[in-house]
Amino acid sequence: MTRNLPNNVLPKGLLLTVAEKEAYTKLVDRLVDRACKEFMVHRDICGRKVDSKEWREIKSVGKLSIRKDRKSKHDRVQTLLGANGQYELVESNIPVPSMLVTGTLPGTIDDFLYGAFIDSSEAHRMRASYLKDQASDFHFLARVSTPTEEDPFRFAGVAWVELAGAKGIPFIWRRDILTLVAMGSKTTVSGERFGYYVIHSIGRSEIPPFPEKKYMRAKCSFCFVFHQRDVDTVEIYQRGFFAPMGDVPERSVLSSVLKNLVVPTRLMESSQGKKLHFMMKRAPQRHPSSLLGNKCAAGCQSRSRTGGTKQGTCVVCRLPVCSACKVPKKIAIDANRHAAIENTFSFCLVCVNKAKATPAAIFAQTEVITKTFNLEARQKALAAAPAGTDVVLYPQDLRKPRPVSCRTRRGEFGMLV
């Protein structure tokens, strides 16, 4: 990601009042409720069938289908729900089609939510290395809600986003959006659980458009909902729009939107990468190779011809692994101001399968507790230190306080220590 907007243009943060946070929370609830109701109509009344006279399929990935509203060929107006509960008109110089996403993908709701979860600008850059979305710059300006131990996937915040679609074309201004970003899960009155991911344009007087910097403020509204169809299949539904504003070739807009709408197909990859990174950070520092000698960690009983170590070492369990059982994966390990820092690491099949089998809720809950404990440790250290003293906390000061277990409707999942 490369930032084109000067650092002094965006505020370092927004101060939201309690009333504003409540209004944004209610806005997310309304958007999610509407999407869930539309999904249930699509599933229960329409039998998951889409009217081809109303919607034209423009792309499919596996069993996921993306459609464009046929009626929007001459429609240049959309409506956008505001935090005050009122709708505003979004008028564009080009047609603004409604976009419909339906279908299924392998995985679980929790894995999708863990793969999509971000709570900081740095977390977005790391996630972007897996999802390849169309944000060339992303900056959180305020937090509306934060995850808890009981609800580890819940987060909402206000973000400024620069879109990548129009870059490199001199006669087209760059597009940015000021958006409410929200994710989490909800359970309906009937007991059905849905995961959701919301991107919805908002307005703030503190962050007006930047025409003097050649930015055009676009507007959009997308609300993805995820429903567990069976044990390893997630059903996806989304209906929304993107209005680039100004004069932009419709084909360019559609191409950019499609790249974002296929992002759910990479959520499982993102979840797996985040799980493996989590396990890497808790890996033993030494190589316990003597425990297995030169045997492969995956238990395939193969040995090298020289009788020495195998073709590689798993970065999680630190045990030797043969070339047949070695799984190379590119993992985002950190992020700087512009992009994620990625490296390719070797894993054994045992650790890869363990990451897949361990519920994402355990990883998410552990991260929430660790962040909370680290923050409390830092605050205590600062309170105890003399005024003007620089406080440095070492890794031993930032250990999580206890083993973490995660309980859901299915019972006890397990524990990360």
Residue 214 has pLDDT above 90, yes or no: no
Other Cβ atoms closer than 10 A to 305: 5
- Average pLDDT over every residue of 112-123: 95
**Predicted pLDDT at 318:** 86
Distance CA 351, CA 128 (A): 24
**Predicted pLDDT at 4:** 60
**Predicted pLDDT at 250:** 72
Count Cβ neighbours within 10 Å for each residue of 77-110 and write b for 16 or more, e otherwise.
ebebbebeeeeeebebeebbbbbbbbbbbebbbb
Looking at per-residue pLDDT, the higher value among 416 and 286 belongs to 286
Tell me the per-residue pLDDT of 268-287, one tens digit each, with 9 for 90 and over: 999 999 999 999 988 876 66
Residue 171 has pLDDT above 50, yes or no: no
Looking at per-residue pLDDT, the higher value among 202 and 320 belongs to 202
Looking at per-residue pLDDT, the higher value among 99 and 339 belongs to 99
Among the residue ranges 165-179, 180-194, 345-359, the one predicted with the least confidence is: 165-179
Residue 391 has pLDDT above 80, yes or no: no
**Predicted pLDDT at 393:** 40
**Predicted pLDDT at 240:** 95
- In this structure, what token pair is assigned to residue 194? 């849905």
In this structure, the strands spanning 174-187 and 215-217 are parallel
**Predicted pLDDT at 202:** 97
Tell me the per-residue pLDDT of 343-388, one tens digit each, with 9 for 90 and over: 999 999 999 999 999 999 999 999 998 877 665 655 555 556 565 5
Q: Given 3.30.230.70, 1.10.10.10, 3.20.10.10, 3.30.530.20, which CATH number is that of 18-265? A: 3.30.530.20
Q: Break the chain into its structural domains and give their ranges.
A: 18-265, 283-351, 360-416
- Average pLDDT over every residue of 73-101: 88
Distance CA 67, CA 56 (A): 5
- Considering the chain, what is the average pLDDT of its residues? 83
- Average pLDDT over every residue of 8-31: 92
**Predicted pLDDT at 170:** 47
Residue 8 has pLDDT above 80, yes or no: no
**Which of 147, 176, 180, 182 is CA-nearest to residue 163?**
176
**Predicted pLDDT at 289:** 52
DSSP code at position 124 = H
Portion of the chain with pLDDT greater than 70, in percent:
80
